[in-house]
Amino acid sequence: MKVGYLRKSNNLDDYRYQKRKITNQNCDKVIVEEFETQFDYENSALKKGLNEMNPGDILIIETFRALGFTLLQALPFLNELEERQIDLKILDIKINTSHKHGEMFELIRYLQESDRIINNEKLRLSGTMRKKKKTAGAKGLDQADIDKIISLREQGKTLEEIVDITGKSFATVQKYTKSIVVQTGLSQEKIDEIIRLKKEGKKLVEIAEIAGVGYKTAQKYARSVNIQGRKLPTAKINSIKKLRKEGKSYAEIAEIAGVTNTTAHKYAKNVKISED
């Protein structure tokens, strides 16, 4: 005998779906469970219906959750089915213990045990994470990491450069370096080289690469060229003006001449574009 089982839900569409699936199984009998927020198996229609079933009968449900059990709560129920030699068919996950009696029950027990292990692991990890959160502020970085950050800053490295080198967050680097007085360590020769390259119209990226310094360091010393009003070489200025006269945009001039858009505009703004 095939016995279907339906458990009414506060979701009417869900119940209708269960009913349609069970109806399609051509059951000899259908047990209908009224909806209860606290499912009491011992006093349920399911329990009463099982008492009327015989060995070899099949209980058909649309989904495991229709039983009203969690996986952990289901073990006594599954044991009862096995003891009574009543098979179980679960439509949504295509389990049918009548095909190979006992094997599916072993699988479900395995899933139950896995669920218990997973839940225990979740609890363990949750406790570990809470402990880590409590101690994270006090623990901070390893002393070796802190020493490396401080050393790099004392060498004149910018915060961004230290972040790239150490892989630590900007906030962390800033925390351990905010009280450090930075010594650049650059020789006057190196500073003069940066300034010379800037006067030649080199881009900051190019200056950093040629001079062998960080981008921020190149920017720091090259900035003084503009502040002090140093001019570009005459040949460079004439090249900028010529390009503008040919109708090039400021962006194109900057790219070709190797200067900034601002510099291109400064020297070409009064040049009339040729109409030829």
* pLDDT of 94 over the 90 cut: no
* pLDDT of 2 over the 90 cut: yes
In a shared domain, residues 15 and 102 = yes
Owner of token pair 């010379």: 196
What count of residues does the chain have? 276
Backbone angles phi, psi at 211, to 5 degrees: -85, -15
* pLDDT of 264 over the 80 cut: yes
Domain for residue 172, yes or no?
A: yes
| Tokens found for residue 154 | 């004392």
Q: Are 189 and 212 in contact (CB under 8 A)?
A: no
In a shared domain, residues 6 and 108 = yes
* pLDDT of 60 over the 60 cut: yes
CA 219: distance to chain centroid? 34
Domain for residue 120, yes or no?
A: no
In a shared domain, residues 107 and 45 = yes
Give the strand order in the sheet containing 95-96. 29-33, 2-7, 58-61, 87-90, 95-96
Owner of token pair 């692991």: 121
pLDDT tens by residue, 172-223: 888 888 877 565 567 778 888 888 888 887 888 888 888 887 777 777 777 7
Q: Which of 140, 151, 210 is nearest to 175 (CA)?
A: 140
Distance CA 204, CA 201 (A): 9
Question: Residue 253 sits in which domain range?
Answer: 234-268
Helix or strand run (H / E) with residue 110: helix 103-139
How large is the average pLDDT for residues 249-276?
Answer: 82
Domain for residue 170, yes or no?
A: yes
* pLDDT of 85 over the 90 cut: no
Q: pLDDT class for 138, splitting at 50, 70, 90?
A: very low
From residue 270, how far is each of 1, 235, 240, 249, 264 by CA, in Å?
A: 99, 17, 11, 13, 11
CA 62: distance to chain centroid? 36
Q: Which residues make beta-bridge pairs with 89?
A: 60, 96
In a shared domain, residues 12 and 111 = yes
In a shared domain, residues 48 and 109 = yes
| Tokens found for residue 179 | 């009280």
Domain for residue 276, yes or no?
A: no
pLDDT tens by residue, 18-40: 899 999 999 999 999 887 666 77
In a shared domain, residues 7 and 111 = yes
User: In total, how many domains does the chain have?
Assistant: 3
Interacting residues of 77 by C-beta distance below 8 A, sequence separation 6+: 41, 67, 69
Q: Are 89 and 61 in contact (CB under 8 A)?
A: yes
Distance CA 131, CA 19 (A): 48
In a shared domain, residues 160 and 261 = no
